[in-house]
């Protein structure tokens, strides 16, 4: 088969795997020689703290990707293949490397976050000025951008009809893996001077508790998690709601950084659903939500900074020193509501938060404390291992009732009833709020109502060992309804 290009450069970003990778497949198929690069982009990294689990996860996954490329090369008689790793500014590094390697084209997978689109446009312009082509491909979702439109030719803004359209359209073509291995002979040797991969310390970061949390990196780690989850998938519909139960897939970080193929996951879930698994159907819906929010971000970029529904920007949020103190109490898990505080302890200690608790804590910040959803969104963006702009923004706007297909503004999570329903015996609370560990299940959800003897027996002094509630839910609910009155006819 005649190849279009003499040499190409595969630029990995949020797709840290060799298997079933769209851009890598197209690069190998189109070029006689393919170099591979990953850039630890200082435009992103320089703003992060030295202890960041995501950087450690990426670093481990980059090492894994290098090993995968070496194996793929060795299997095709190219034992010196591997990954070039650069620590610098991607906008400069990629065109410079394209020059140094004298490639004819650069290949990458789409990244529709606004900052990434601006970066890619600048890189493409720099490459084209050198006579180098830039090609990018869909890889991070099943359907993107405007692949699924309403009968009126517009993007969907309500999930259920989007999901129905998604399910009608999906078939084997969209879920078929890219046969990367078939074209592995196009991989070429990494130049000797670029073979070394910088250590985490050389990047300016330090080890976190990632390994203690048993968060596996790379495709191998993702595959192990997925294999384990497949054994639990049938129970997902019920188990996913209880934070003390092993219900979720825990694959969010692998989806975020592309160490696992979304096509492989969706195909597995769809097959199980077709065999009657309600758990698989529910998990597939979560994957479709991910596509839904990705196309919302692509088609409505104003939602990154503003309410999806512009009229909701008229809401007056709490501000000033008092609001700052309430926000800090929420961040530090000192609200006096045990389930909220346990959830915030979980994200602060692990970089993960159970999906139901993401809704509960977001609702509490916005509708109990009256604080702008964007402050909470930014905090989650700093803390979550699996932070993804479209999903994080979509989730926060859903909770704040400012987004597409959002929770109605008058539906406000009661943090006590949520606790009683989804952590009935208090197991999750006891794990993350040890000060309350000895309280019985009947009172652990609202310790301020416990009898003095119960508190004494549990070794809890309210206001000392555990804070009094910083807000009364019923009063806060009434204020929220007033606050949202400016848009109640929207």
Q: Which residues are catalytic?
A: 286, 289, 317, 355, 373, 396
- Residue 121 CA to residue 289 CA, distance in Å, equals 28
Tokens of 208: 């976190």
H helix intervals, 413-464:
415-422, 427-432, 441-444, 452-458
Task: Kindly report the backbone phi and psi dihedral angles of residue 88, in degrees, each rounded to the nearest multiple of 5, phi listed first.
Answer: 180, -160
Say if residues 135 and 120 touch (Cβ distance below 8 Å). no
Query: Is 33 strand, coil or helix?
Result: strand
Helix axes 373-383, 338-350, angle to 10 degrees: 40
Say if residues 382 and 348 touch (Cβ distance below 8 Å). no
Bridge partners for 9 per DSSP? 35, 106
Contacts of 182 (CB under 8 A, 6+ apart): none
CA torsion sign, 275 to 281 to 283 to 284?
A: positive
Let me know how long the chain is. 490
- Residue 117 CA to residue 122 CA, distance in Å, equals 9
H or E stretch covering 298:
helix 278-299
- Residue 269 CA to residue 112 CA, distance in Å, equals 25
Task: Kindly report the backbone phi and psi dihedral angles of residue 457, in degrees, each rounded to the nearest multiple of 5, phi listed first.
Answer: -65, -30
- Residue 109 CA to residue 429 CA, distance in Å, equals 41
Say if residues 428 and 341 touch (Cβ distance below 8 Å). no
The per-residue DSSP string of 357-387 comes to: HHHHHHHIIIIIS---HHHHHHHHHHH-TT-
- Residue 67 CA to residue 96 CA, distance in Å, equals 25
């Amino acid at each position: 088969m005649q190849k279009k290009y003499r040499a190409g450069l595969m630029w990995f970003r949020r797709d840290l795997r060799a298997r079933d990778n769209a851009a890598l497949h197209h690069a190998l198929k189109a070029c006689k020689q393919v170099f591979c690069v990953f850039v630890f982009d200082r435009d992103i990294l320089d703003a992060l703290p030295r202890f960041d689990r995501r950087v450690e996860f990426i670093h481990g996954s980059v090492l894994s990707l290098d090993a995968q490329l070496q194996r793929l090369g060795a299997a095709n008689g190219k034992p010196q293949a591997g990954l070039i790793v650069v620590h610098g500014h991607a906008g400069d590094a990629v065109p410079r490397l394209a020059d140094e390697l004298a490639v004819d084209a650069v290949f990458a997978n789409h990244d529709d976050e606004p900052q990434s689109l601006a970066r890619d446009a600048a890189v493409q312009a720099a490459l084209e000025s050198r006579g180098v082509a830039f090609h990018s491909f869909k890889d991070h979702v099943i359907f993107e951008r405007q692949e699924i439109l309403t009968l009126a030719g517009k993007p969907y803004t309500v999930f259920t009809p989007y999901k129905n359209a998604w399910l009608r359209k999906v078939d084997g073509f969209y879920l078929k893996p890219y046969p990367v291995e078939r074209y592995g002979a196009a991989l070429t040797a990494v130049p000797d001077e670029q073979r070394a991969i910088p250590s985490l310390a050389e990047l300016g970061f330090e080890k976190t508790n990632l390994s203690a949390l048993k968060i596996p990196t790379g495709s191998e780690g993702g595959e192990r998690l997925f294999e384990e989850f497949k054994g639990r998938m049938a129970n997902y519909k019920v188990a996913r709601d209880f934070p003390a139960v092993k219900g979720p897939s825990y694959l969010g970080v692998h989806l975020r950084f592309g160490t696992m193929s979304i096509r492989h996951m969706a195909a597995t879930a769809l097959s199980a659903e077709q065999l009657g698994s309600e758990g698989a159907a529910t998990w597939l819906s979560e994957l479709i939500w991910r596509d839904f929010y990705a196309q919302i971000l692509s088609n409505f970029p104003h939602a990154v900074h503003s309410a999806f529904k512009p009229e909701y920007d008229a809401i007056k949020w709490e501000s000033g020193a008092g609001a700052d103190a309430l926000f800090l109490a929420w961040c530090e898990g000192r609200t006096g509501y045990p389930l909220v505080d346990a959830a915030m302890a979980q994200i602060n200690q692990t970089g993960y938060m159970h999906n139901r608790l993401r809704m509960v804590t977001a609702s509490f910040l916005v509708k109990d404390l009256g604080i702008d959803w964007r402050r909470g969104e930014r905090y989650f963006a700093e803390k979550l291992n699996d932070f993804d702009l479209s999903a994080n923004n979509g989730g926060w706007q859903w909770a704040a009732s400012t987004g597409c297909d959002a929770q109605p503004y008058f539906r406000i999570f009661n943090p006590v009833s949520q606790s009683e329903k989804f952590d009935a015996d208090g197991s999750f609370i006891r794990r993350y709020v040890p000060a309350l560990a000895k309280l019985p299940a009947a009172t652990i959800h609202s310790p301020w109502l416990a009898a003095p003897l119960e508190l004494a027996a549990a070794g809890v002094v309210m206001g000392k060992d555990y804070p009094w509630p910083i807000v009364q839910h019923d009063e806060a609910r009434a204020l929220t309804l007033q606050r949202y009155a400016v848009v109640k006819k929207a």
